[in-house]
Amino acid sequence: MFKYFPHTKADIESMLKTLNISSIDELFKDVPESVIFNSDYDVPSFMSESELRNHFAELSKKNQELTLFSGLGIYDHYQPAVIDAVTSRQEFMTSYTPYQPEISQGTLQYIFEYQSMIQTLTGLEVSNASMYDGTTATAEACFMACAVAKRNKILISSTLNPNTVNVIKTYLKYKELEWDFIAEKDGVVDIEDLKNKLDKDVAGVVVQKPNFYGIIEDYEGFADLIKANKSLFIVNADISTLGVLKSPKEDGADIACGECQSLGMPVAFGGPSLGYLATEKTYVRKMPGRICGYTHDLEGRRAFVLTLQAREQHIRRSKANSNICSNQSLMALFATIYLSLMGKNGLREVNNLSYQGAHYLYEKLLKTKKFTDPFKKPFLKEFTLETNIPKEAIQTALLEKGIFGGIGLDVFGEQYEGLINFSVTEKRTKAEIDNLVNILEGLS
């Protein structure tokens, strides 16, 4: 016997008898003999629970937990204990997509609440139930823009995180759509270059704030230009920063999208995290993913259901705009609980504390004279500096003290040579920051 298989010998015999057969193998008679797998799998033998725990204890030793001054899309923010307590409830964790609303109100209601929170943070009218991550959400936003504008070109700001750019490029390339880059000027997207490149093929323009360098871009004038060209304006923003920054709606965006990992999710080696996508109701029929709507049941009780499903793959099949089916529902619950706990004041405080720490570190690093700021632009929780110290020296010196930070941006491409990133969340203490500065001060 094995703990996950309840089949006793007697059960099996009685079931086989009902089926009038003598062995389970007979059920596989449709499988051609030539493809039956008769050998043993070349995978390890089973493990008891305590063996597994020991095994993971060994594996854990090969990982190093570090004090994180690293960001670039994945941030080390505080995760309230309540989140794990709630998300590990089996009612949320083990249920399927809420196809049967009568027994799925828990999931449907938090999706509605999640959508409400994304709505207020982005300022746009409608959020979907979730996307896989910030990069794929942005790629899907590009598809959406092409479907709405009935055009086939996307303009991508050069100040987007290269991970997002790469994913957009892959998606567009295979869908046989086009793209071009809007140049950057002094670390921000260049509006003059945008003017030059807006033509009648452009379906959408994608920008990011805070951008890859951590700079908070200002999109004054963008929406007017883009709308005049009948294109859609897509703003990618780390959702947590929208607690204080101008909302995409206030920027004049038609679609907002990006990463939600900063809302109470662990860094988790990059996943699972959560992507969001929001737009105005005019475009909702071209929106990817599930959408939850408010309604009532037969007896007039408040109820939530998945709605406008005629957009989705299971109904529209080859005519659907997106193929997304399973998304990141449980991570949307992380975000919903986090935002419920934080409220508008908590979110503001998180941003302010991160801002304070980042600016303290920034000033200290400049004072060492070993770092310079090539951009001198406003930033929030992360920033980019230039240095002559080899990035390997920085990394090694920090790792020795259990710190990860000062990421050389050239891991994303050689055009970033000499630039390094620091990110500070509310979790970083003064002692940790001072220690970081001390270590770096000693390098040359």
Map the footprint of other proteins across residues 328-357, applying CB under 8 A.
328-331, 333, 336-337, 339-353, 355-357
Q: Does 272 sit behind a cis peptide bond, omega within 30 degrees of 0 on the bond before it?
A: yes
> Per-residue x/- marks for ligand PLP, 301-340, CB under 6 A?
------------------------xx--------------
Q: Which residue has the tokens 């323009």?
A: 205
Sole binder of other proteins in the list 200, 227, 302, 376 (CB under 8 A):
302
156 binds other proteins (CB under 8 A): no
Sole binder of other proteins in the list 157, 158, 159, 164 (CB under 8 A):
164
Q: Angle formed by the axes of helices 329-367 and 105-122, to 10°? A: 40
Cβ nearer to ligand PLP, comparing 78 with 96: 96
Q: Angle formed by the axes of helices 162-174 and 134-149, to 10°? A: 40
Sole binder of other proteins in the list 211, 426, 436, 440 (CB under 8 A):
426
Only segment of 37-45, 183-191, 198-206, 224-232 that touches other proteins (CB under 8 A): 37-45
Q: Which amino acid is at 114?
A: Y
305 binds other proteins (CB under 8 A): yes
Cβ nearer to ligand PLP, comparing 19 with 325: 325
Cα Rg, the chain, nearest whole Å: 25
Distance CA(325)–CA(290), nearest Å, equals 8
349 binds, among other proteins, ligand PLP, none (CB under 5 to 8 A by kind): other proteins
Q: Taking the complex as a whole, how short is the minimal distance between the CB of residue 4 and other proteins, in angstroms?
A: 5
427 binds other proteins (CB under 8 A): yes
255 binds other proteins (CB under 8 A): no
Q: Taking the complex as a whole, how short is the minimal distance between the CB of residue 65 and other proteins, in angstroms?
A: 5
Tokens of 263: 């809302």
Q: Taking the complex as a whole, how short is the minimal distance between the CB of residue 14 and other proteins, in angstroms?
A: 7
Distance of CA 79 to the CA centre of its chain: 16
Sheet harboring 202-209: ordered strands across?
126-127, 275-279, 255-259, 232-237, 202-209, 153-157, 178-182
Only segment of 34-42, 179-187, 197-205, 229-237 that touches other proteins (CB under 8 A): 34-42
Q: Taking the complex as a whole, how short is the minimal distance between the CB of residue 325 and ligand PLP, in angstroms?
A: 3
56 binds other proteins (CB under 8 A): yes
Q: Is residue 261 a contact partner of residue 267, using CB atoms and an 8 Å limit? A: yes
Distance CA(159)–CA(161), nearest Å, equals 7
Q: Taking the complex as a whole, how short is the minimal distance between the CB of residue 327 and other proteins, in angstroms?
A: 5
Sheet harboring 371-372: ordered strands across?
371-372, 382-387, 419-423, 407-408
Q: Is residue 108 a contact partner of residue 292, using CB atoms and an 8 Å limit? A: yes
Q: Is residue 242 a contact partner of residue 121, using CB atoms and an 8 Å limit? A: yes
Cβ nearer to ligand PLP, comparing 97 with 116: 97
252 binds other proteins (CB under 8 A): no
In DSSP notation, 122-164 reads H--SEE-S-BS-HHHHHHHHHHHHHHHHT--EEEEETTS-HHH
> Per-residue x/- marks for other proteins, 112-151, CB under 8 A?
xx-xxx-xxx-x-xxx-xx-xxxxx------x--------
Q: Does 210 sit behind a cis peptide bond, omega within 30 degrees of 0 on the bond before it?
A: yes
367 binds other proteins (CB under 8 A): no
Q: Taking the complex as a whole, how short is the minimal distance between the CB of residue 27 and other proteins, in angstroms?
A: 5
Q: How many residues does the chain have?
A: 444
397 binds other proteins (CB under 8 A): no
Q: Taking the complex as a whole, how short is the minimal distance between the CB of residue 121 and ligand PLP, in angstroms?
A: 26
Q: Angle formed by the axes of helices 430-441 and 329-367, to 10°? A: 50
Q: Is residue 69 a contact partner of residue 404, using CB atoms and an 8 Å limit? A: yes
Only segment of 151-159, 180-188, 306-314, 435-443 that touches other proteins (CB under 8 A): 306-314
Sole binder of other proteins in the list 183, 191, 216, 393 (CB under 8 A):
216
248 binds, among ligand PLP, other proteins, none (CB under 5 to 8 A by kind): none
Cβ nearer to ligand PLP, comparing 93 with 325: 325
Q: Taking the complex as a whole, how short is the minimal distance between the CB of residue 299 and ligand PLP, in angstroms?
A: 31
60 binds other proteins (CB under 8 A): yes
Q: Which amino acid is at 276?
A: Y
Distance CA(261)–CA(167), nearest Å, equals 18
Distance CA(122)–CA(136), nearest Å, equals 18
What does the H/E/C string look like for 378-418?
A: CECCEEEEEECCCHHHHHHHHHHCCEEECEEHHHHCHHHCC
414 binds other proteins (CB under 8 A): no
136 binds, among ligand PLP, other proteins, none (CB under 5 to 8 A by kind): other proteins
Where on the chain is the footprint of ligand PLP (CB under 6 A)?
325-326
